[in-house]
Structure 1
Amino acid sequence: MKALGQDKGRIAEDEALNFLQMQGLRLIERNYRCRYGEIDLIMEDGRAIVFVEVRYRRSSQFGGALESVDRRKQAKLLASAVHFLREKRMDRPARFDVAALAPANGGLTVKWVKDAFQAA
């Protein structure tokens, strides 16, 4: 396992994707990019479209992964999600989840927060 920035992010994203798929979610799109920002994972949970922000933190010294999804990041995610839903012409319930990962016992632990924030 490489220990450099993007590699860590990719590994964390892979781990989050595997975890969420084991919970029954189905991948629609990965790393969706538009002019408003990027969404790490877009998944389906039953009829709901789930926009997942994946966060990895080696240490919680400067705040944990969950706390790093601030109002500014939430606004970007919301704008990107609206763009995705319009582009794909999807009219379905949607929610925003966060998959927070941290090292533990030589691997990674995943804390999945469903409905982590609401569209304002």
Structure 2
Amino acid sequence: MPRSDPRFRGEQVEQQVAHWLTERGLTLVASNQHAKGGEIDLILWHGQTLVFVEVRHRRDTRYGHPLETVTPAKQRRIVKAARFYLQTQRLSCPCRFDVVGVTGQAPALEFEWIQAAFDAY
């Protein structure tokens, strides 16, 4: 896959975010989990809480911060995918939805981590 491919760049950023979060005490469970109508970028344990993480990246903030791109419609798709994941894995545990906004270009990336960025509704 060519390095200029947006999907390749997205996967690279997600891997870097996963590493960054594990350095902060979380444990990676899965990445790029596809479910009916949605996808979850990263799933990690943070203590006893299962964390579903949406990763958003922009090279710069000229057109807004990447955190601003997690719309209510996107949140609904993530929640739906998370419910599907919990059901298929037969899990019943505390859950949280986090968002990590990433700006810049590798290797100079900046991370902004919003814990409990939104709720399941």
Q: TM-score range with shorter-chain normalisation?
A: over 0.9
Q: Distance in 2 between matches of 1:38 and 1:114?
A: 19
For residues 1-120 of structure 1, what are the structure 2 equivalents within 5 Å?
2-103=3-104, 106-120=107-121
Distance 1:106 1:21, change over 3 A: closer
Runs of 4+ in 1 over 2 A off after TM superposition: 1-4
TM-score by length of 2: 0.92
Residue-by-residue CA offset, 1:18-64 (whole Å, 9 max, x unaligned):
10000110111111011121100011001100000011011222221
CA distance in 2, matches of 1:85, 1:36: 15
SS in 1 for 2:64: coil
Provide the C-alpha distance between the structure 2 equivalents of 1:106 and 1:81, rounded to a whole number of angstroms.
Answer: 31
Q: Quick one: percent identity of the two aligned structures?
A: 34
Shift of the alpha carbon at 1:105? Answer: 8.6
Q: Once the 2 structures are TM-superposed, how far is the Cα of residue 106 of structure 1 from its aligned partner?
A: 4.8
Name the CA distance, whole Å, in 2 between partners of 1:36 and 1:85: 15
Unaligned stretches of 5+ in structure 1?
Answer: none
State the alpha-carbon separation in 2 of the partners of residues 10 and 108 from structure 1. Answer: 14
TM-score by length of 1: 0.93
Distance in 1 separating the partners of 2:111 and 2:73: 23
